[in-house]
Structure formats: C-alpha cells, structure tokens
Amino acid sequence: MKILTAAQTREADAFTIAHEPISSLDLMERASSALVQWLEQKYDPAVPFFIFCGTGNNGGDGLAVARLLHNNGYDVQVFLPETGQNLSPDFSQNLERLPQAISVTRIQDMEDLALEIPASGVVLDGFFGSGLSRPLTGLYAQLIEFLNQQQATRIAIDLPSGLFADAPTPPGSAIFQADITLTFERPKLAFLLPASGAYVGDWHVLPIGLHEGYLSQVESPYQVLLPQAIKSLLRPRSKFSHKGTYGHALLAGGSYGKMGAITMSAQAALRAGVGLLTVLVPEIGYGILQTSVPEAMVVTDEQEQHLTRFPEDLTKYQCVGIGPGLGQAEDSRMALEQLFRHKLPPLVLDADALNLLAADRFLRQQLPPNSILTPHPKEFERLTGPAIDDFHRLQLLQSFCAEHSCYVILKGAHSCIGTPSGEFFFNTTGNSGMATGGSGDVLTGILTGLRAQGYSPLEACQLGVYLHGLAGDLAAEVEGETSLIASDLYKYLGAAFQKAAK
C-alpha cells in the first residue's frame, strides 16, 4: 500500500471528484459515513460524543459525523471555535445540514467552554487534517491542551490536529493526543515514525473509494506491507523436494557469555525453512550448540572465547549470517575484513558485525553489494551519524543504502526496510513485547534462512520482518506482551507462516 503525502492526498480527492465524477460534498459524506460505520461498530448509542470541529474540510467531516450519529440515536454535542478563519464551502453546507436538536457551543475563548466530559464519553478531534503546515497557537492550542487532559477516549479524524503528515512537527507544538486515529484510504507517514506516531494511538485505514486511476499511477517511495503482498511472496514446497532444495546457510557468531544469541538465531533459521544449517562458533560454544540445536551442524574456531576466522571456502553456502553474540574483539574485526576480500554468498549482518562496520570506515566500504543489515536505531546511528529527527533518519537511510548498494532493516515499532533504489517498506506486525533482548538475533536467523532458500534480498526482508512481527503477535496472544521473550518468537514462527499463507 502506497503512502501518500498531504499534497498527493489532495490530488487524489480532486482526481476522484473530476473523474468519478462526484461532488466534493458527496465525497465528504462518503468519508463521514465510513467514520460513522466504524464508530457504531465500536460504541453503542449510550456513549456520548463530544465533537470538536475546525472551519475547514476536517471540521466538515466532524459536522457530518455529528449529523449521522444523531440520526442513528446517539447523544452528540458539537463545539465550534470562532477564530475569524474562513469557512470552507463544504463545512458551511454541513453546518446548514446539522439538525437543530444537536447542541452547538461556539467558543471564542476558554471561558465559553463550561464542560465536563465523562470518562465514558468519546472526544472526536475534527480541528485540522493533513493540510496543516504550521504549529497551532491561540485558542486551538488551548483547546487541544484541555482535551488532552480528559479521561474520555480521544479519537482523531484523519490525523491528530497539530501533527504534520509528512514533515517533522516543531518541538513543543500543541498536538492532539489521540487514543485512536481513523484515517482515509492510506496511512500517513507520520503514523509510522516514533516521535509523531506517539500521538496517533491505534490507527485504522477506512476506504472511501478514492479513484484507483490516481492511486495506481501516483509515485511514492513509501509503502506499507500488507498481508496479501506477503502471501504472494511465499513459495509453496514441492512434494519431491529434499533438504538440498532449500539451501545451506552458515551462521557465525557467539562469544563468551553471548552464546544464547547465536543459539536463538540458529533456531530461527531452521524454523524459517532452511534445508541445512551450519553454525560457526568459538570453541566454548560447541557443546551448547550441539545440545540446544541438534538439527544444526557445528564448526568451531580454534580460539576458545570468540571468533578469529571464517572458512576460506564458502561456495557450499547460499547465505552467511554474521553477528549475533559475535563480540568486538580486534581479531574478529580482522576476520571480517579478510572475509570481505573473498567472493561471497549473500550476507546478513547484525549486532556486533554492524558495530565492527561502524568503527571502521574502510571495512564499511568493502561491504558486498546486496547485503542485508539489521540495525536498531543506535546501531544505525553509529553507521551514519546522529539524525536530527525521524524524517532526517529516513534521508540517512536512503543515502546509506544507495552508497553501499545494500538493504537495511531499521528495526522498531514499524521496522523500515531501506533499499538501494530509494524505496521504503514499513512493517505492520509486531508489538511492544518484542522489545526484549534476543529479538534481533531471531530476525537475523529468519533472514539468513530465507535468503539461503533463494529469496531475493527485498523478498527476504519483507517476509522476514512481517513473519518476525506476526510470530510476536501470536506469541503475545498466549504469553502476553510483558512476559514475551525472544525464544517465543521462533516457537511461534511456524504458526506465523501458516497464518501468512491463508
């Protein structure tokens, strides 16, 4: 699913109005009907609604929602700030359509708002949508501060008021703190980034029939991964296949005190479907791997506590994953440097392999093309330098992928896949329970297993992050988010594959 900018969203509306054709007022009615349908599925008529409307089209949506809810038996109150702003034509028409039975409070200053909102109520934010380009001040800022203090459920129409859709919102700005955001047709980029996404709450995309002719041809570097796309990537297994059909992967890592990382990565690679797995560990890890992952073959370094070498002949492997528990010893760095000089199978690099890259510019420049890197934000910062904000971090991601011809999975609540071509893919699975040590090691194993089976770098990244997050969601349903641990992820990976294939 493409993510549109605020400008492209306006173009999509205009294209739909011109080519369906449909009036802008009727398109607003369609959007408002979608909102009401969602609200009525969640709240019964005993729940009071407090709807705050600006004077533009977002406010027009709010007025139409108020009318439709009222007509269906809901208790609705409307609040209109009067700040001297021009009224949009569709707002004015929806104001005229508002039944007289609906209470309308006009607000010139905060003294006009003698209001107690019960915790059982719903506050609907219809002040401003995605067209906002400057911070809110004055009465609107005061109203948002008031609403953010309420215990009622706070729902934003399209986008929380005060939040910019596709640019950083200035620090200290007044922003509606939504529990739920109901947006139209496509999510906003701001939903998927940490600082701005914190104001969005749970978001839901409501289809309103924007013209497919525009949506299919408009270009956007940003996309969201959807279940149907993931299903189309999964390859069915042949009845007459054998272990050689599904590739031979090498995982390298582990050091004294960190053998659990490479163990979990190995378990995940096997659960991801790789045919054969060899694990390279220091001597101290031999017994651990042979006991905890009996399906894997184990080879050891002559050094007892960390890796100092890689096999000279890697031709029998279809992918090499490096990093979980590796450590940052100097001879491990030298081994990685020596490795990059050889003709290599596809690489997946994580954890300390990334830290070694970050500490050595020369090593970074030797990174083989089409490698997959999986940093968390701090690891990424070591590779590229600090980001000013989340949007600047995406620029750094784009530049890094282009410079090194690599794929980078920037891990987080909506892990973002950066590509050499400048495209970004955001994941939609996963939960806060996965914020625990070892989750990234599991992802490394999944990616290594998928890449060894012949999936392209992009396919492996898309499948890997989606299935990793889905396994976390399935695990959380049973274990809860607080008690979820990294080993739960590979235990539920089989169920994630099954669900993704349905």
The annotation status of 129 as a binding-site residue, yes or no, is yes
Do the Cβ atoms of 299 and 325 come closer than 8 Å? no
- Residue 380 CA neighbour count, 13 Å, CB half: 28
Tokens representing 348 are: 């997946």
301-340 burial, b at 16+ Cβ within 10 Å, e below that, comes to: bebebbbbbbbeebeebbbbbbbbbbbebeebbebbeebb
- State yes or no: 24 annotated in a binding site: no
Is 440 known as a binding-site position? yes
All residues at 6 or more sequence positions from 361 whose CB lies less than 8 Å from its CB, including other chains:
none
130 is in an annotated binding site: yes
Helix (H/G/I), strand (E/B), else coil: 37: helix
What string of H, E and C letters represents the secondary structure of 149-186? CCCCEEEEECCCCCCCCCCCCCCCCCCCCCCEEEEECC
Q: Is 44 among the annotated ligand-binding positions?
A: no
Residue 84 annotated as binding site: no
Annotated ligand binding at 132? The verdict is: yes
The answer to whether 415 is annotated as binding is yes
| One-character DSSP codes across 105-159 | EEESSGGG------TTSEEEEES--TT--S---HHHHHHHHHHHT--SEEEEESS
Task: Tell whether 135 is in a known binding site.
Answer: yes
158 in a labelled binding site: yes
412 marked as part of a ligand binding site: yes
- 140 assigned to a ligand binding site: yes
Distance CA 336, CA 119 (A): 58
User: 57: annotated binding-site residue?
Assistant: yes
Counting Cα atoms < 13 Å in the Cβ hemisphere of 374 gives: 28
CA dist 334 and 354 (Å) reads 14
Nearest alpha carbon to residue 52 among 114, 151, 126? 126
Tokens at 108, concatenated: 């010139």
134 is in an annotated binding site: yes
182 labeled part of a ligand binding site: no
Is 60 annotated for ligand binding? yes
Give the residue numbers of the binding site for AMP: 411-415, 440
Give the residue numbers of the binding site for (6S)-NADPHX: 57-61, 129-135, 140, 158, 261, 325, 376, 441
Give the residue numbers of the binding site: 57-61, 125, 129-135, 140, 158, 161, 261, 325, 376, 411-415, 440-441
Give the residue numbers of the binding site for K(+): 58, 125, 161
